[in-house]
Structure 1
Amino acid sequence: MFYMNMNAVMAMIGMIIILALTRWWPHNKRYLLLAFNLCFLLLFSKKLFLFYIVYTVINYICFLWLCYTKKWRKGGFIALIVLNVAAVSGIRLLGMEASEHPLFDAVIALTLIYNVLKVIDSHYFAYFFGKDAKAKITDYMNYILFVPTFTSGPILKFRDFMADTKKPYRVNADQVEEGIKRIILGLFKKLVIVTWMTDIFHHVQDQELYTQQSIFLMIWFYIMLFFDFSGYSDIAVGFGRLMGYTIPENFKKPFQSPTLTQFWRNWHATLGDWFRDHIFMFFSRQAPTRWMGAGLSILIMVLIGLWHGFGWIYFFYGLYHGIVIAIETLLGKSTVNKKKVSRAYFLGRCALTQAIVTVSVVVYSGSTDTVLKIYRGLLNWPF
């Protein structure tokens, strides 16, 4: 979202230049970056700034408590997770009406959806590693408030971010060139391709829909969504790496995924990784059976659906993907090794996976009326 504002882009470019000029100072990534993150949020929205100061400090205190406490450890950990989930769920239930409340705005609702996942990751790390997980408040605030990934990810892992924080700022000429290319590519996707594709999508959608138009809209929206999401990720990766942090890739050739299980490891990869790390691995630490794996897959996908939005279309979207992944798990077909199967079989599985995704991805349009109109159009034969 910030990347659509030229002032925000110029501010980030300026911060990168300052970090490069002060690379002789081993703590420039800690203190200068924190000052930048705080000033950026303050200038963007005073409500956003105040909310995140309070939210981050409270969670940091809880994080330290988890690092050192020996009493009520498990109960406190569960309570912290529940409270953070309740906070984002409350805003989800309120929807955009939260923006009409004097204490909230739409940006808080948007950013909390991503940042609560980072907070929970830090609490997990503190709970399982105790004192070894401790971090300074400056580093913790930078982790939560890191501007390049603040509104839409990729979702950073606490351990990886802290490891990068301890490294001095080192960005060579090749990294600068690569980072700039990623930013330009992302901006081209967002400002040119997505804008053009959105106009065509709305033009077709406004017409009476028949089977062929609905199929076209599903495929068109899927490709448009890829350019939209991957474009934002390209920009975030470029700016983040130029600031000295290793931002994980969010899209890893998802169109070449031969199973839905592998698709979710390649599409919005950091989100799928987060749910696997914090739910699947937590409940299946003792060699899960296929049935347990299938059940957890359904739970995870339903949660991912609801994470995108509280509504029946998102619930059924997650349930649909969860059931397909569960079937793949039960049949032992979760992965396909490209080197061990024929090219025709591999491409056939990729095509099947893309078809499964295509018929459901239109729910991301955010409008139930649009989704239902497209699905009804499938049954509207032109003959």
Structure 2
Amino acid sequence: MWYLNMNAVVAMIGMIVILALTRWWPHNKRVLLLAFNLCFLLVFSKKLFIFYVIYTLFNYLGFLFLCHAASWRKGWFIILIALNVVGVCSLRLFGMKVFEHPLFDAVILLGLVYNVLKVIDAYYFAYFFGKEARTPALDYANYILFIPTFTSGPILKFRDFMADTKQPYRLNAGQVEDAIKRIILGMFKKIVLVTWMTDLFNQMQQQELHTHESLFLMVWFYALIFFDFSGYSDIAIGFGRLMGYNIPENFKKPFQSPTLTQFWRNWHATLGDWFRDHIFMFFSRQAPSKATAAGLSILIMVLIGLWHGFSWLYFLYGLYHGIVMALENLLGKSTVNKKKVSRAYFLSRCALTQLIVTVSVIIYSGSEETVFHIYRGLFNWPF
């Protein structure tokens, strides 16, 4: 996490100042940003630098090949994506110590689950647009290695990033002010709120729990991860925009979502959008039937669960959300138009959605012991 390291923050501020001072040079955003991205990784970790240079070069060659491939395009498209997925899964298994090798270093996993999604998005673009998708190596490398969103997103779309790359570096006073306010808000969430909330959560969950305490911890942890991840997103969006790129929003009032389907369009929005765009595009390029949409909802949510971690808890988390979304599709209840229903109905649907999320969100703690301890507490009545 760059943003809790003052040296990293100062380095990004320095880069923004350099971009502002060289705004007369039309290619400053492209050339200087690549130099910054590479130097940043090199200083942070030589192994991480070497890995990402090789990883980016390999995928850029694959990207160019797919742009020009005249035959067996779909086959090569699937192979290139499969190689990335297998590679990332293998490295995660090394990180879990399922496999061991002296050359493996956990540092290479930093940001990899986010960057592989960007690599796959670029392959989709190459597959569907062919030679028109060709991009200079300089811009492709900046897309993969973009430091503000490197470790935890938001997930950048290849097409949007390339469109921003073509624009000269220009920021007005209002944009700078908004970006700085966004960074300060994110820092407050991450450093003040999350630190305090984590301490309280850890203290409470270590003791014997009763029903009301487990319920409190579920709600508390839900708020904690919201402030944690939305805080990171705020900082990344602020720094990204100060570097001349329009970083997409990751949280779009998720607590006002009247269905679970709409919740996943508003919570970690770039991740949900990525899976919907790429899975639906691959398996159902036409408007799917309710049954197909339901099946794809389960598949997408299981993949999102496993994307967060290779464990049966994350698998069940994804399956649980997928089944609820599948039922919403089958029953025609996947969306609610606020303007066409009563306020009471809309608020009740929002409350139901938040209840569905709250009972499962504790999975994000990443600890089976913590998860079971809190769930067991639900059935431990204080009287």
Structure 2 Cα separation of the partners of residues 163 and 102 of structure 1? 41
Alignment correspondent of 2:237: 237
| Residue matched to 2:45 | 45
Q: Structure 1's 189 and 257: CA in aligned 2 closer, same or farther, altered over 3 A?
A: same
Amino acid of the structure 1 residue aligned with 2:195: T
Shift of 1:99: 11
Shift of 1:90: 1.1
Change (3 A) 1:186 1:102: farther
Whole-angstrom CA distance in 2 between matches of 1:9 and 1:365? 27
With structure 1 as the length reference, what TM-score do the two structures score? 0.98
Q: Secondary structure at the match of 2:244?
A: coil
The one-letter code sitting in structure 1 at the alignment partner of 2:290 is R
Is 2:271 the partner of 1:276?
A: no
Please name the residue that 1:21 is paired with. Answer: 21
Contact 1:47 1:103 in 2 (8 A): no
Aligned position for 1:263: 263
User: How big is the shift at 1:106?
Assistant: 2.8
Partner SS for 2:117: helix
1:71 deviation in Å? 2.2
- Relative to structure 1, the CA distance from residue 98 to residue 177 in structure 2 (aligned partners, 3 Å threshold; closer, same or farther) is farther
Partners of 2:355 and 2:69 in 1: CA distance: 50
Corresponding residue number in structure 2 for 1:128: 128
Q: Does structure 2 retain, via aligned residues, the 8 Å contact 1:218–1:358? A: yes
Question: Residue 66 of structure 1 aligns with which residue?
Answer: 66
Using the TM superposition, give the Cα deviation of residue 51 of structure 1 relative to its aligned residue in structure 2, in angstroms.
0.1
How far apart in 2 are the matches of 1:10 and 1:99? Answer: 37
Q: Which runs of 5+ in 1 are unaligned?
A: none
Look up the match of 2:56.
Answer: 56
Contact 2:249 2:269 in 1 (8 A): yes
Q: Matches of 1:323 and 1:175 in 2, distance apart?
A: 42
Partner of 2:335: 335
User: Which digits, 9 at most, give the CA deviation of each residue in 1:100-124, with x for residues without a partner?
Assistant: 8543433321311110000000001
Matches of 1:146 and 1:317, distance apart in 2: 30
**1:276-296 Cα distance to aligned partner (Å, 9 max, x none):** 111023212122110000000
Report if aligned partners of 1:303, 1:318 keep a CA contact under 8 Å in 2.
Answer: yes
Instruction: Determine the C-alpha separation between the residues in 1 that align with 2:251 and 2:101.
Output: 35
Q: State the alpha-carbon separation in 2 of the partners of residues 296 and 152 from structure 1.
A: 25
Alpha-carbon separation, structure 1, partners of 2:28 and 2:274: 29
Q: Is the 8 A contact 2:66 2:73 kept in 1?
A: yes
User: Cα–Cα, structure 1 residues 140 and 99, in superposed 2: closer, same or farther, change >3 Å?
Assistant: farther
Partners of 1:330 and 1:187 lie apart in 2 by 42
CA–CA distance in structure 2, aligned partners of residues 305 and 105 of structure 1: 24
Determine the C-alpha separation between the residues in 1 that align with 2:294 and 2:96: 34
**Higher mean displacement: 276-285 or 307-316:** 276-285
Aligned sequence identity (%):
78
Structure-2 change in CA distance of 1:94 and 1:108 (3 Å): same
Q: Is the 8 A contact 1:211 1:380 kept in 2?
A: yes
Q: Give me the TM-score of the superposition, normalised by structure 2.
A: 0.98
Is 1:33 the counterpart of 2:47? The answer is no
Partner of 2:188: 188
Offset of residue 92 of structure 1: 2.2
Tell me how far 1:255 sits from its aligned partner: 0.4
Match in the other structure for 2:226: 226
Unpaired runs of 5+ residues, structure 2, are none
Distance 1:99 1:347 in 2: 49
What secondary structure sits across from 2:107 in the alignment? helix
* Secondary structure, counterpart of 1:336 in structure 2: coil
Q: In structure 2, how many angstroms separate the alpha carbons of the residues matched to 1:113 and 1:288?
A: 28
Give the SS at the match of 2:153.
coil
2:107 and 2:171 map into 1 onto residues whose CA distance is: 31
CA distance in 1, matches of 2:113, 2:373: 28
Alignment of 1:60-99 (within 5 A): 60-97=60-97
Distance (whole Å) between structure 1 residues aligned to residue 119 and residue 199 of structure 2: 37
Give yes or no for the alignment of 1:250 onto 2:246: no
- State which drifts further: 86-95 or 338-347: 86-95
**Counterpart position of 2:382:** 382
Matches of 2:287 and 2:224, distance apart in 1? 39
Partner of 2:299: 299
After superposition, what is the alpha-carbon deviation per residue over 1:234-272, rounded to whole angstroms, capped at 9, x for unaligned?
Answer: 000000000000000000000000000000000000000
List per-residue Cα deviations over 1:277-335 (Å, max 9, x = no partner): 11023212122110000000000000000000000000000000000000000011111
Query: Are the equivalent residues in 1 in contact too, given 2:182–2:238 (CA < 8 A)?
Result: yes
Determine if contact 1:99/1:106 at 8 Å carries over to the other structure.
no
Answer yes or no: is the 8 Å Cα contact 1:99–1:105 preserved in 2.
no
Query: Could you tell me which amino acid in structure 1 is paired with residue 156 of structure 2?
Result: L
Cα pair 2:94 2:100 within 8 Å, conserved = no
Please say which of residues 65-74 and 223-232 is displaced more in the overlay: 65-74
* Root-mean-square deviation over aligned CA pairs: 1.2
